[in-house]
Amino acid sequence: MSTDPPNAVPLLAVQGLAKHFPVREGFGSRILRAVDGVDFEVRAGETLGLVGESGCGKTTTGRMLVRLLEPTAGRIRFDGRDITHLRGRALRPLRRELQIIFQDPYSSLNPRHTVGKIIAIPLQANGIRPPGGIRNRVRELLEIVGLNPEHYNRYPHEFSGGQRQRVGIARALAVQPRLVVADEPVSALDVSIQAQVVNLLRGLQRDLGLGFVFIAHDLAVVRHLSHRVAVMYLGKIVETGARADIYQRPQHPYTRALLSAVPDIERSREDRGRIRLEGDVASPLEAVSGCPFRSRCWKARDRCAVEEPALVAREGREQLVACHFPEPAPAVSTEEVRGEPVAG
Amino acid sequence: MLRFLIRRVLSATLVLFAISVLTFLMFFALPRDPVTSMCPKNCNPARLERVRAELGLSDPLYQQYAGYMKGIVLGRDLNSAEGGHCAAPCLGYSYINSEPVSRTIARVLPVTLSIVIPAAVLWLALGVGLGMVSALRRGSVLDRLAIGFSLTGASLQIYFVGAVLLLVFTYTLHLVPVPHYTSITQNPADWASGLVLAWVTLAFLFSAIYARLSRAQMLETLSEDFIRTARSKGLPKFRVYGQHALRAAITPIVTIAGMDIGGALGGTVVTETTFGIQGLGRTTWDAVREGDLPTLMATVLIAAVFIVVANIVVDIVYAFIDPRVRLG
Amino acid sequence: MRPRVAVAAGSAIVLFAALGACGKNTGQGTATDNNRTTTGVIATDPKDSMGPAAPVPGATKGGTFYVLRQPKINHLDPQRVYSFAGLSAAPLYSRFLTTWKDDGKGHLTLVGDLATTPGKDVKGDCTTWQFTIKDGVKFEDGSPITSKEIAYGIARSFDPDLTGGPTYLQEWLANTPEYDTAWDFKANKTSLPPGLTTPDAKTLVFTFQKPHCDLPFAASLPFTAPMPPAKDTGVNYDNQPFSSGPYKITKIVPGVQMVLERNTNWDPATDPVRHQYPDSFVWSYGADATAEANRIISDSGPDASAISWDGVPSTLTAAVAGNASLKDRTLLEPTPSANRLTINMQRVTDLSIRQALNYAIDRDDLIKALGGATVASPLTTLMPPATLGYQQYDAYPAGPNGNPEKAKQLLNGRTPELVLGVADDDQDTQIGTQVKNNLEKAGFKITVKTIPQDSKLDETKKKNNPWDLYIDTWGADWPSGASILPPLFDGRTIKDEGNSDTSFMNDSAINAEFDRILAMPPAQQGPEWAKLDKRIMTQDAPAVPLYVDVAFYLHGSKAGGLFIGSVFGYPEFVNAFVKP
Amino acid sequence: MSLSPVEDIALSEFSPGTVAEPAAPGSGFVGRSPGQLAWARLRRDRVAMVSGGVLVFFFLVALAAPLIQWAYGTDPQQQFQDSLDLYGMPLGYAGGVTGSHWFGLEPSLGRDIFIRMVYGLRTSLFIALAAGVITTVIGVLAGVLAGYAGGWLDAVIGWVTDFALAMPFLIVALALVPTVSLRFYGPREAVPSSFRVAVLITVFALFGWTSAARLVRGQVVSLREREFIEAARASGVSTAHMLFRQVLPNIWAPILVSFSLAVPSYVTGEAVLSFLGVGIVDPTPDFGAMIFRSIHYLQTDPTYVFFPGVTIFILVLAFNLFGDAVRDALDPRSNR
């Protein structure tokens, strides 16, 4: 469990961030609104959990944060500087401060390079000359992420998935960034390995004072790392707040549904009160009218079809929710925030 | 999609335009003086000059080119030796063949179409079928035979196989008539029997390439996660292979098939020469050798049209079979 | 396993190619009769010009005769016919002023065709020629052929649009090579060119400003075919010639086939040479020479009554000539097309070098390189043996394989460096190799320079062309020395380009001889040309005579009455019939 | 046939270090690169070794042509027309095969087929290899640029590709050769065969790069989506590093395969051009020209067809098999 209170100055500030992809179907052309106006802030050393089902736009958001994708609209500020449309050389300094860990440990490592080289590339590309030499720094990094430093000359195919993900983490850490976007870093791993990697990240968070934007598709993984959590649905944030608020008092029906799906070995299947969402996810291709979640929401009323709910604070808390009919009281049985990781 | 199409068509038009200009220029770089072929045996420089002037060949090149292009779009008046007015699309008049080029094209184009289209159907069916089956029955005797077949086919040449097939089936065993062309509307049976050797030869060599390609593609696709997932979900084997795998494996085949068929429609010089059938390819070759500019321009442009159209069709088909592809 | 299967399958196919590679070739074969010479007369007895033609032994009526040929005939319009295929086909559907009675064995008689005689030299000085048109000659629609239609045909040959045909009559009548500016056909369609008159419907008179004793020969070319002015469709006439011969064209599918059927208005009694045995002739286009030959060898279906017009390709001769069962289905004759190694006398001015070249040449091996005895037959004279009055001689006797020693002796230690221009196609470059290796044995240094095939003829015909040696072919329009030696060696005709005198020889004594012989009556010229031939070779050696082309044709077992024409050396169809 | 990477991974999962080369104690771990693994797989592949050996043999023969001539005792230009019959066909058995003429004699000119094939291989393989290398380099550059840069550069390269594909190859070749040779050589100078070789290579280079370009572009477009490319981008590497260190090493397999297919196609393509008078002309020995010429003698001199025919078949087959083997070795997944 993280201890340091979040810093007061936002390191990363995102306003109205949007990404639209043109999609051609048959003989027509439509716009896919992958991310459609997202606001959040991350303070130095703080970890924001970004949660949502696949296809909700969280990965696209992550890619835009590290400027691998060009935002369609909105603004990204890092350390007070507008980085929304930085290009080429101007982007270089940012690369040293903002790094990314990828989801797929198999495709994120160049199979033709040794892990040593993979980790060294960010150093070389950014002209960083560590005091002991690049080679020593790489060994150090391998040690930090829990790998044998003598495996410097090995190729990715000689490692397991978990080991590879550690290499990916070492690469992200090489330039000593202040913020790391972790894009579902464990979802491709076996459950037993997931826990190891999550623990590694927690350690890094604690020891290096790193800030994370931790992207995940379920709330379970995020719980142990995040100071704050944002829930995304169809390219929008539907609820955001401090971890404890989100987990104990989820107000948006979608958050509730997600939470109910968190496996909990201590309770029997019957009294888990799992909410099964029915209905189809609205297509991100269709023009939005009203609440995007209404097609699956059991509380949907006429108003939801007409008016889109704004992301605002309800009940005077620092918990923002975009719902006309937010949950009034804690209804999920996961009352307390558990300090232990989900597994192992 | 519509915008994509428009852009592709515009780009293709530009390709055609560039090719027509280049062909025109190239033609005048050819060592042969086209006028000599229009001048009787004992023609002299004065007469050559006069013929040249009459045919507009002493006009500046750009003017000649403009005249030619105008003919295609609007039609134009040719001089009396060329049969007078020539309606759009006017491809000009060939002194070598002493007929309007449009007549030559009308004659040879169906020949090439008749060779290529059935052959393409054959080679695609045979090649892709064989490749799929051998991928699914990997390691079996059938697979090995198919590999042997495709390696052999891919290592042989049309002129070689064609000559041997002709010698064996036509001249020695008399099983197949001598290759010839009859219009399909006139006598479908004769049409088929006259071209069957050409089809078989083309199909043999091409299907070999397609069998190799589709086998490799199929194997690669079969090892992809989504196929394994589909199988593990218990979806019937036939549906998985028939729909999912085939669909994914066929995209690269479509690309290559488009290029091959487009190119072949533009003329199969070697095939036509091997089997002695006068199609578009041979006509192009003859036009180059004989310095027949109007025929050359027409055949080159038609060949180019086939290739660019095939490319566009491939892109469209691609978008339909592989929804992942965004035409951007 | 994988490679074994593949290799086995592949080898099986390749081994197919090796089938039949087991017989021993001992070098037996049919040799060409190289000694066929031509004797020719101009008929003096009007009976010779009368029909009907003598029946062909064994000929029967009926059936369809097929002619296989790769490209279509480029012109069918008689005023534009000049290709050998056209000259071969035209007599089937059109008649001319005069024509050759040819027995296929070298005996030629020039007779009147539409005319009652092969022309009458009115004044005895070859300037005025009169023809009388036969009675009973008709077009395919039954309308009579008169001197008017013949004159119209000749008149339209002045039209510059109607390219392709010969130009003798036009140039002689207009007395200038610029005949089409001297008399504009399009502006004067209702009148006749200068010097051509039709005093009445039966009489046609040519009046020349200069003597042209060869007129009766020239009149045998198809451009004297008649045409009713109403039927003239200009350039499109190529696709629908109006028949005056024994057959009429009933169907043309361009590039595919041409069908000729009996013309019932043709009267055999008026025709001294043509027959009308088959019901129809079908020219079918497309197959190449190899395919044609193989079809004929198969001898099945319609191919049994067919001839392959493109001849037996040299790559197949061994299979055809070595096959005894095909012997009675082949036609093998030397033709009048003479090939020579032209020496550019502007560049090679030293007679002894030109003579050394003549001694050095190895005709035997050259002919092997060309494809053997069925492709070419050695020649030591400028005129081919098929010329009237021909005399065999060898001015530089060196044997069939040449005499490099004798050549070296003449060169006397010099090493002349000569450039041989050849077309850049496969066949010609091989011949270049052959000639180079051959001549270098005799002490020459030869550079083979390839010239783009399409332009080779034009380039070598240019005065001041940069090459020393090149191979030329001459096929005369009629078998007289007059149509061979003066065009090839009269130095007064040399112009900037388009020369026939590609040796660029200009010997005033020889030029005077040309004038002297040309003024003689055609029948007496023959021996004089033969003498002059030898004199040119001995005195000037402007070329190395190499070989004449050999006609080697194959026809189906039911095709009869075929022979190789003595005038052009191509198959003739006037006697053709289909065996039942 | 080959150890798949799955097995490698599985092994490393359980006992890291066992798959590595048995390194001397204390010298640290040295991993085996994919290239080394591929080489190891290739070495264990019998087909690859046999086809590779055949290719090496052909190259050696081509290189050692003068040496072979010396040992064989016959000049490629030497004519033996005394051994031809009156139709110009070789006397004796099987197209004139004798102790001194191992593969018989050419009809017509009567030159020795064996020694001309040896020299012809030299010409043809040189042209094919040079053209193969040049077209592959051009194709890879164009493909990588188009695929990686996308946007207008992709559009322009795509357009040029379309243009090159639709361009009338024959006409360009036929117009180019005489025009260019006129520019460089006088009307009385023989055009040396080296010049013709250069022109042929140029013609192939002008037209042959498109398929490699398309292939590479496709590969790069799909690679571009791979996360390690994004990772490199996030690391702030330069474009050159991206193209040559990240992208290129991952597309060697298709490049090598397309190269191995291109080379034999140039051998046969060159045959067609020679036939049209654009390629290598007599008397320079050329394998492609020989094959094309020999086809016409299928009925009368099968031996003449047989030896060049079998040789090109084996050559192309060896290229195909070796190409496949290389692909399997580099990218074992495709054969899994």
Could you tell me the CATH number of the domain that includes residue C501?
A: 3.10.105.10
C383 residue type, one letter:
M
**pLDDT confidence tier of residue C18, bands split at 50, 70 and 90:** very low
pLDDT at B220: 72
> Is B1 part of the contact surface with chain A (CB cutoff 8 Å)?
yes
Asked if residue A212 is part of any domain, the answer here is yes
Assigned token pair, B213 = 């390609």
Using the beta-carbon criterion (under 8 Å), do D234 and A175 form an inter-chain contact? no
Are B133 and B180 part of one and the same domain? yes
Asked if residue B78 is part of any domain, the answer here is yes
Phi, psi of A224, rounded to the nearest 5 degrees: -85, -10
Closest chain A residue to D241 measured between Cα atoms?
A125
**pLDDT confidence tier of residue C27, bands split at 50, 70 and 90:** low
Q: Show the domain range for B26.
A: 20-98
Residues of chain B neighbouring D316 (CB-CB closer than 8 A): 154-156
Q: Is C207 helix (H, G, I), strand (E, B) or coil?
A: strand
Overall number of domains in chain B: 2
Using the beta-carbon criterion (under 8 Å), do B2 and A23 form an inter-chain contact? no
Q: Hey, which residues does D2 pair with through a beta bridge?
A: none
pLDDT at B172: 78
Decide: D2 and D41 in contact? Cβ < 8 Å. yes
Pairing of strands C417-423, C469-474: parallel
Decide: C238 and C222 in contact? Cβ < 8 Å. no
Using the beta-carbon criterion (under 8 Å), do A151 and D234 form an inter-chain contact? no
**pLDDT confidence tier of residue D30, bands split at 50, 70 and 90:** low
Residues of chain C neighbouring D293 (CB-CB closer than 8 A): 426
**Please, do chains D and C touch (3+ CB pairs < 8 Å)?**
yes
Asked if residue C59 is part of any domain, the answer here is no
Kindly calculate the radius of gyration of chain B based on its CA atoms and give it in whole angstroms. 24
CA distances from D153 to B299, D147, D159, D210, D237 (A): 31, 9, 10, 15, 21
Asked if residue A135 is part of any domain, the answer here is no
Is the sign of the CA dihedral C272, C278, C279, C280 positive or negative? negative
Q: Which of A110, A148, A155 sits opposite D228 (nearest CB)?
A: A110
HEC sequence for chain A: CCCCCCCCCEEEEEEEEEEEEEEEECCEEEEEEEEEEEEEEEECCCEEEEECCCCCCHHHHHHHHCCCCCCCEEEEEECCEECCCCCHHHHHHHHHHEEEECCCCCCCCCCCCCHHHHHHHHHHHCCCCCCCCHHHHHHHHHHHCCCCHHHHECCHHHCCHHHHHHHHHHHHHCCCCCEEEEECCCCCCCHHHHHHHHHHHHHHHHHHCCEEEEEECCHHHHHCCCCEEEEEECCEEEEEEEHHHHHHCCCCHHHHHHHHCCCCCCCCCHHHCCCCCCCCCCCCCCCCCCCHHHHHCCCCCHHHHHCCCCCEECCCCCCEECCCCCCCCCCCCCCCCCCCCCCC
**Other C-beta atoms lying within 10 Å of the C-beta of residue C33:** 11
Instruction: Report domain extents, chain D.
Output: 5-32, 120-335
Using the beta-carbon criterion (under 8 Å), do C313 and D191 form an inter-chain contact? no
Block residue for tokens 């191995």: D260
Interface test with C, best of D108, D193, D294, D335 (most C CBs within 10 A): D108
Asked if residue A159 is part of any domain, the answer here is no
Phi, psi of D112, rounded to the nearest 5 degrees: -75, 125
A131 residue type, one letter:
P
Asked if residue B272 is part of any domain, the answer here is yes
Using the beta-carbon criterion (under 8 Å), do D85 and C29 form an inter-chain contact? yes
Block residue for tokens 């065999």: C392
Pairing of strands A73-78, A81-82: antiparallel
Q: pLDDT over 70 for what percent of chain C?
A: 93
Q: Is D38 helix (H, G, I), strand (E, B) or coil?
A: helix
Q: Which residues of D98-112 are buried (b: 16+ CB within 10 A; e: fewer)?
A: eeebebbbbbbbbbb
**pLDDT confidence tier of residue B29, bands split at 50, 70 and 90:** low
Closest chain B residue to A29 measured between Cα atoms?
B1
Are B132 and B264 part of one and the same domain? yes
Instruction: State pLDDT tens for residues D174-218.
Output: 677 767 777 788 777 777 888 888 888 888 888 888 888 888 888
Instruction: State pLDDT tens for residues C109-126.
Output: 899 999 999 888 888 888
Q: Is D105 helix (H, G, I), strand (E, B) or coil?
A: strand
**Please, do chains D and A touch (3+ CB pairs < 8 Å)?**
yes
> Is D171 part of the contact surface with chain B (CB cutoff 8 Å)?
yes
Asked if residue A155 is part of any domain, the answer here is no
Mean pLDDT estimate for chain B: 78
- When pLDDT is averaged across residues C372-399 and rounded to a whole number, the result is 88
Asked if residue C67 is part of any domain, the answer here is no
Using the beta-carbon criterion (under 8 Å), do C434 and D77 form an inter-chain contact? no
> Is B170 part of the contact surface with chain D (CB cutoff 8 Å)?
no
CATH number of residue A75's parent domain: 3.40.50.300
> Is B92 part of the contact surface with chain C (CB cutoff 8 Å)?
no
Instruction: State pLDDT tens for residues A83-122.
Output: 888 877 788 888 888 889 888 888 888 888 888 888 998 8
Greatest Cα pair distance, chain A, in angstroms, is: 66
Is the sign of the CA dihedral B224, A21, D215, B308 positive or negative? positive
- Taking CB atoms and an 8 Å cut-off, how many pairs form between chains B and D? 106
Interface test with A, best of B4, B316, B318, B326 (most A CBs within 10 A): B326
Decide: A326 and A251 in contact? Cβ < 8 Å. yes
Asked if residue A171 is part of any domain, the answer here is no
What ipTM did this prediction achieve? 0.76
Q: Is C67 helix (H, G, I), strand (E, B) or coil?
A: strand
Q: Which chains touch A (3 or more CB pairs under 8 A)?
A: B, D
> Is B53 part of the contact surface with chain C (CB cutoff 8 Å)?
no
> Is D292 part of the contact surface with chain B (CB cutoff 8 Å)?
yes
3-state helix, strand, coil in chain D (%, to 5): 70, 5, 25
Q: Show the domain range for A285.
A: 10-97+177-337
Last residue of a domain, one of B98, B128, B160: B98
Kindly calculate the radius of gyration of chain C based on its CA atoms and give it in whole angstroms. 25
pLDDT at C112: 92
Assigned token pair, A241 = 């707040």
Decide if pLDDT at B250 tops 80.
no
CATH number of residue B223's parent domain: 1.10.3720.10
Residue C193: cis peptide before it, omega within 30 degrees of 0: no
Pairing of strands C571-572, C563-564: antiparallel
Asked if residue A17 is part of any domain, the answer here is yes
> Is D246 part of the contact surface with chain A (CB cutoff 8 Å)?
yes
The three-point CA angle C187-C188-C192 to 5° equals 155
Give the length of chain D: 336
Q: How far apart are CA B149 and CA B155, in angstroms?
A: 10
Q: Which residues of A118-131 are buried (b: 16+ CB within 10 A; e: fewer)?
A: bbbbbbbbbeeeee
Q: How far apart are CA D235 and CA A168, in angstroms?
A: 12
Overall number of domains in chain C: 1
pLDDT at B326: 44
Residue B8 distance to chain C (closest CA, Å)? 37
Q: Show the domain range for C367.
A: 335-550
Q: Which of A24, A26, A28 sits opposite B326 (nearest CB)?
A: A24
| Helix (H), strand (E) at residue C433 | helix C426-440
CA B62 and chain centroid, separation = 29
- When pLDDT is averaged across residues C253-277 and rounded to a whole number, the result is 90
Overall number of domains in chain A: 1
Decide if pLDDT at C204 tops 60.
yes
Closest chain A residue to D225 measured between Cα atoms?
A107
Decide: C372 and C550 in contact? Cβ < 8 Å. no
Residue C372 distance to chain D (closest CA, Å)? 4
Instruction: State pLDDT tens for residues D251-280.
Output: 877 788 788 878 888 887 887 777 666 778
Q: How far apart are CA B123 and CA B135, in angstroms?
A: 17
Are B31 and B126 part of one and the same domain? no
Interface test with D, best of C28, C326, C424 (most D CBs within 10 A): C424
| Helix (H), strand (E) at residue D44 | helix D34-44
Residues of chain D neighbouring C416 (CB-CB closer than 8 A): none
**In the β-sheet with C280-285, what is the strand arrangement from edge to edge?**
C247-253, C257-262, C280-285, C64-69, C306-308
Interface test with B, best of C5, C310, C495 (most B CBs within 10 A): C5
User: Residue B302: which of B65, B120, B89, B70 has the closest Cα?
Assistant: B89
C280 residue type, one letter:
S
Are B157 and B295 part of one and the same domain? yes
pLDDT at A236: 86
Instruction: State pLDDT tens for residues D218-243.
Output: 888 878 877 888 888 888 888 888 88
Residues of chain A neighbouring B319 (CB-CB closer than 8 A): 24
Q: How far apart are CA C3 and CA C12, in angstroms?
A: 14
CA distances from C215 to C39, C97, C130, C155, C191 (A): 19, 11, 10, 16, 22
Instruction: State pLDDT tens for residues D6-29.
Output: 333 333 333 333 333 333 334 445
The CATH number for D120-335, chosen from 3.20.20.70, 3.30.70.2190, 3.40.190.120, 1.10.3720.10, is 1.10.3720.10
Residue D218 distance to chain B (closest CA, Å)? 10
Using the beta-carbon criterion (under 8 Å), do C449 and D190 form an inter-chain contact? yes
DSSP for B172-237, please give it.
Answer: IS--SPPP----TTT-HHHHHHHHHHHHHHHHHHHHHHHHHHHHHHHHHHHTSHHHHHHHHTT--H
> Is D303 part of the contact surface with chain C (CB cutoff 8 Å)?
yes
Residue A29 distance to chain B (closest CA, Å)? 6
Cβ-proximal residues to B178 (8 Å cutoff; 6+ apart), any chain: B170, B194, B276, C287, C291, C294, C295
Last residue of a domain, one of B98, B133, B162: B98
> Is C452 part of the contact surface with chain B (CB cutoff 8 Å)?
yes
pLDDT at A106: 80
Asked if residue A123 is part of any domain, the answer here is no
Decide if pLDDT at B152 tops 60.
yes
